[in-house]
Amino acid sequence: MTDAKTRISETVTKNDVVLYMKGTKTMPQCGFSSRVAGVLNFMGVDYADVNVLEDAEIRQGIKDYSDWPTIPQLYVKGEFVGGCDIITEMTLSGELDQLFEDKGVAYNKDAADQIRAANS
């Protein structure tokens, strides 16, 4: 598992935003991954996607790395943010916007506002 941990650590530190997910950002393969990728895509966030279905070591390794049992998992500037429910809540409350601003991650504020308006 050390190899997976090393690869995960390198990925989350070399990319500002990383989503470990089932499928890819253009072809999610589960509803939860689709929801988080959809939010990031709609908000115009540049992020790396890692398809855990392609690598069993990474699929288990990411759960061990974060001590979080489910996928998807979002990392911003090397820091674990959360899974689908947490990202959804943060999007609707504006906390995700604030996190991106605090960390210097570019995103479309108007798109974020549109998501909140559509869900209010």
Q: What is the C-alpha to C-alpha distance for residues 52 and 60, in angstroms, rounded to an integer?
A: 8
Res 11: pLDDT: 97
* Mean per-residue pLDDT over the chain, rounded: 96
Q: Please, are residues 6 and 12 in contact by the beta-carbon 8 Å criterion?
A: no
pTM recorded for the entire structure:
0.95
* Residue 17, domain CATH: 3.40.30.10
Say whether 81 sits in a helix, a strand or coil: strand
Say whether 1 sits in a helix, a strand or coil: coil
Res 35: pLDDT: 97
Query: What is the extent of the structural domain holding 95?
Result: 2-118
Closest CA to 71 of 28, 120, 11: 28
pLDDT in tens, 22-59: 999 999 999 999 999 999 999 999 999 999 999 999 99
Q: How many domains does the chain have?
A: 1
